[in-house]
A and B are shown apart, each in its own frame.
Chain A
Amino acid sequence: MKAVRELLSKEFLQIRRDKRMLPLILLAPVVQVVLLGYAATVDVKNIRLAVYDADRSSASRSYVERFTATGYFTVIGYVDDPRELGAVLDRGGATLAVHIPRHFARDVGTGRPVRLQLLADGSDANTANISLNYAAQITAGYAESIVTERLARIGGINVPRVSAETRIWYNPDLRSANYMVPGVVALILMIITTTFSAAAIVREKEAGTIEQILVTPIKPFQFILGKLLPFTIIGMVEVGLVLGVAVAWFNVPLRGSVALLFGLCGLFILTTLGLGLFVSTISRTQQQAMMTAQFFIFFPFLFLSGFTFPIDNMPPVIQTLTYGIPLRYFIEIVRGLFLKGVGLEVLWPQALALLIFGVGILGLSVAGFRKRLG
């Protein structure tokens, strides 16, 4: 084991000596989590609303007020001609436009059907979707209040109200930072440990130093351990840093056990180091290794793990595919630990999946590495 210790201290010596490496290792994750924490937000706020009110009644005004009352909408203007609504959307001034027909108040009062028109800027499908949803909810709420009012007036009796009340648990104000930042923690841990471990091994190939080491009586597994252990340690330090930023800067609640989070990070690192080792065995230069990692690991992992797109929205075939992506389980674990504060009693299937992937990938990579040497 002295050999492993020797390799470890050599590795840290080299990291310390490389003037670009250390800032990269310590600063990059912090910058990344800050940037991604802001950029990867799906919150829809300040929806700009344009209104064409053909009715100009108190009823139509109170309907529009319901939009602004939510805090999500800002009325950017009233237009005098329904055709202008399209123009306002085109120019990007408005995200959503509402067309209130003439006789809105009368029809609402007499119980006749009312046709409201909502126009949304679909160039950002996500925002359009969410704004339309909000608008539909607001409209439904308005309609309901009218019905209750009328029934009460007619019968003079209390009408039992039946309505579904939505309550969102875990992340009540639906802050997307709470949802995204834990995912970013997972992502950074993956990228850093995979690329650095691959690069550290390939660098020895490029320099030819690997041959000099392999003629010593050192065992391949000792070499691998000496190469991967430093990045396990660094990976854990990064998790600490990134967690600090998540909690202190983004106020993301960390409801679960910190110790468990670190433990499961360790489990996930088995997978990422295994992937790093695998990349290093099939690459001859550091550049090749980076390319391989990006295209064949990071991209599919990013898109199929549920980090960017909710898995539930994917077509069934793709959903099945996501079970083969280890990051998927880790993202579920991190989100669960952060937001729900659950422990292993809930997360054990994901932890088990990570263990299986980790041992499998690392085992295969070690075997492949040893075979390449022969």
Chain B
Amino acid sequence: MTQELHNEHAVVVEGLTKRFGNFVAVDSMSFNVKRGEIFGFLGPNGAGKSTTIRMLCGLLGPTEGSARVGGYDISTEPDRVKENIGYMSQRFSLYEDLTVEENIRFYGGIYGLEGAQFEERRQWAIEMAGLRGKETALTRTLSGGWKQRLALGCAVLHQPPIVFLDEPTGGVDPVSRRDFWDLIYNLSSEGTTVFVTTHYLDEAEHCNTIGLVYAGRLIALGSPTSLKSKLERYAIYEVVSENPVDAMDLLQKQPWVAETSIFGSAFHVSTDASTGSDAEIRRTLEQGNIGISRIQRISPSLEDVFIQLIAEESEK
């Protein structure tokens, strides 16, 4: 444990690689996760997020590279790693044919909790998941949000210093999603390091650090603010047009336009900050006989950043 105290990083990843046959699911990733922070792993389907987490939890051996979790090497000390982590897999994986209470008892028992300590954690988990009064309900009868909170409760019964949450809010309604993030904040404020994957950009905004994963590679890393500043060389405009498809087509052909993308009823155009301007966009569209009702320069959202970064990455 002393090793851990002297270490500012909860997770240290160096050149971590996983191949399935010829397919590279995780391609020499390197990054650190600071103790106590909320670290968000963001990326499209099949990017390699779950595979990375499963290696860090000791469920899967890396093909190459190494990682230390809680100060322990995932390859040589997987048992020590397991003592120091909680894990919620992407698929709901509590026993559906057991009750809330029985699931808590089972995981508490597996983690060696006993007596007063177990009782206290049991109460805590039921309270935290908001399942008071539902202790004897079969887990299969719970709705999505409750299931996820119970799964989180079971994953942190033993108060691990690090938790890995793989898409914990997948398929959950927006209110339950917010509730769930409150739980994540609570854990983090109590000093727990939270490593979470998500598809939601609004969730990513809540993270201290974000790693963007694409096709097995980590293509960007930093705080939401620092990631947005990566787009300083671009100016982003939000355009509302009656014919967005043609408008985007036309703009995409201009040398000073880097990327266009649909955003709800409008679309975003990122232009080279030195050569592009709203006047330029307006002029181009007028020449193409495409009407616009509004054009406005905006500060980039995380989504803009990711679209830009992924576009750059796939051009390589």
Q: What is A's interface to B at a CB cutoff of 8 Å? A: 2-3, 5-7, 10, 13-14, 17-18, 207-209, 211-219, 373-374
Asked if B97 contacts A215 (CB within 8 A), the reply is no
Min CB–CB distance B152 → chain A (angstroms):
12
Min CB–CB distance B259 → chain A (angstroms):
38
Q: Which residue on A lies nearest to B155, using beta carbons? A: A212
- Residues 71-125 of B at the A interface (beta carbon under 8 Å): 79, 82-83, 85, 87, 89, 91-98, 102, 106-107, 109-112, 114
Q: A10-B98, A17-B97, A216-B111 are in contact. Are A374 and B87 (CB under 8 A)?
A: no
Asked if B110 contacts A18 (CB within 8 A), the reply is no
Asked if A207 contacts B82 (CB within 8 A), the reply is no
The distance in angstroms between the C-alpha atoms of A242 and B238, with both chains bound, is 78
B311 CB-CB contact with A under 8 Å: no
B residues within 8 A CB of A5? 109
The distance in angstroms between the C-alpha atoms of A218 and B111, with both chains bound, is 8
* B87 touches which of A207, A212, A373 (Cβ 8 Å): A212
Min CB–CB distance B149 → chain A (angstroms):
15
Min CB–CB distance A217 → chain B (angstroms):
5
B residues within 8 A CB of A209? 93-95
* A10 touches which of B59, B79, B91, B106 (Cβ 8 Å): B106
* B61 touches which of A217, A218, A374 (Cβ 8 Å): A374
What mask results when residues 18 to 55 of chain B are scored 1 for a CB within 8 Å of chain A, else 0?
00000000000000000000000000000000000010
8 contacts between A and B (CB under 8 A): A5-B109, A6-B110, A212-B94, A216-B82, A217-B79, A217-B82, A217-B83, A374-B61
B residues within 8 A CB of A17? 97-98
Q: Which residue on B lies nearest to A3, using beta carbons? A: B110
Asked if B97 contacts A14 (CB within 8 A), the reply is yes
How many A-B residue pairs have C-beta atoms within 8 angstroms? Tell me: 66
Q: Given known contacts A18-B97, A207-B93, what 17 new A-B pairs fall within 8 Å (CB)?
A: A3-B112, A5-B109, A6-B109, A6-B110, A13-B98, A208-B91, A208-B93, A209-B94, A211-B87, A211-B89, A212-B93, A212-B94, A215-B82, A215-B87, A216-B82, A216-B110, A219-B79
* B106 touches which of A6, A18, A207, A373 (Cβ 8 Å): A6
Asked if B92 contacts A208 (CB within 8 A), the reply is yes
The distance in angstroms between the C-alpha atoms of A176 and B143, with both chains bound, is 58
A residues within 8 A CB of B102? 10, 13
* A208 touches which of B61, B89, B110 (Cβ 8 Å): B89
A residues within 8 A CB of B94? 209, 212
Q: A10-B106, A215-B82, A216-B111 are in contact. Are A207 and B59 (CB under 8 A)?
A: no
Min CB–CB distance A16 → chain B (angstroms):
10
B residues within 8 A CB of A207? 93, 95-96
Does more than half of chain B's interface fall in helix, strand or loop, or is it mixed?
A: loop
Asked if A2 contacts B91 (CB within 8 A), the reply is no
Asked if A14 contacts B106 (CB within 8 A), the reply is no
Asked if A2 contacts B109 (CB within 8 A), the reply is yes
Q: What is B's interface to A at a CB cutoff of 8 Å? A: 54, 57-59, 61, 79, 82-83, 85, 87, 89, 91-98, 102, 106-107, 109-112, 114, 154-155
Q: A215-B59, A374-B61 are in contact. Are A10 and B95 (CB under 8 A)?
A: yes
Q: Which residue on B lies nearest to A17, using beta carbons? A: B97
Asked if A3 contacts B109 (CB within 8 A), the reply is yes
B residues within 8 A CB of A217? 79, 82-83, 111
A residues within 8 A CB of B98? 10, 13-14, 17
The distance in angstroms between the C-alpha atoms of A13 and B85, with both chains bound, is 27
Q: Which residue on A lies nearest to B87, using beta carbons? A: A215
Q: A2-B109, A6-B110, A216-B110 are in contact. Are A211 and B83 (CB under 8 A)?
A: no
Q: Which residue on B lies nearest to A226, using beta carbons? A: B110
Interface centre among B79, B91, B94, B95 (most CB of A within 10 A): B95
A residues within 8 A CB of B107? 212, 216
The distance in angstroms between the C-alpha atoms of A216 and B83, with both chains bound, is 7
Min CB–CB distance B262 → chain A (angstroms):
35
* B93 touches which of A6, A18, A211, A216 (Cβ 8 Å): A211
Q: Which residue on B lies nearest to A7, using beta carbons? A: B110
The distance in angstroms between the C-alpha atoms of A218 and B83, with both chains bound, is 9
Min CB–CB distance B248 → chain A (angstroms):
41
B residues within 8 A CB of A373? 59
The distance in angstroms between the C-alpha atoms of A211 and B164, with both chains bound, is 13
Asked if B95 contacts A213 (CB within 8 A), the reply is no
A residues within 8 A CB of B79? 217, 219
The distance in angstroms between the C-alpha atoms of A17 and B103, with both chains bound, is 14
A residues within 8 A CB of B61? 374
Interface centre among A6, A216, A218, A219 (most CB of B within 10 A): A216
The distance in angstroms between the C-alpha atoms of A215 and B90, with both chains bound, is 14
B residues within 8 A CB of A10? 95, 98, 102, 106
A residues within 8 A CB of B82? 215-217
B residues within 8 A CB of A211? 54, 59, 87, 89, 91, 93
B residues within 8 A CB of A214? 59
Shortest 7 CB-CB contacts between residues of A and residues of B: A6-B109, A208-B93, A208-B91, A215-B87, A212-B93, A217-B82, A216-B110
Min CB–CB distance A201 → chain B (angstroms):
14
A residues within 8 A CB of B54? 211
Q: Which residue on B lies nearest to A210, using beta carbons? A: B93
Q: Which residue on B lies nearest to A216, using beta carbons? A: B110
Q: A10-B98, A14-B95, A17-B97 are in contact. Are A212 and B89 (CB under 8 A)?
A: yes
Asked if A215 contacts B95 (CB within 8 A), the reply is no
A residues within 8 A CB of B112? 2-3
The distance in angstroms between the C-alpha atoms of A209 and B89, with both chains bound, is 9
The distance in angstroms between the C-alpha atoms of A130 and B261, with both chains bound, is 86
Q: Which residue on B lies nearest to A219, using beta carbons? A: B79
Min CB–CB distance B79 → chain A (angstroms):
6
The distance in angstroms between the C-alpha atoms of A5 and B110, with both chains bound, is 9
Q: A10-B95, A207-B96 are in contact. Are A215 and B58 (CB under 8 A)?
A: yes
Interface centre among A5, A13, A14, A18 (most CB of B within 10 A): A13
The distance in angstroms between the C-alpha atoms of A66 and B163, with both chains bound, is 87
Q: Which residue on B lies nearest to A212, using beta carbons? A: B93
B residues within 8 A CB of A216? 82, 107, 110-111
Q: A14-B95, A14-B97, A208-B89 are in contact. Are A213 and B110 (CB under 8 A)?
A: yes
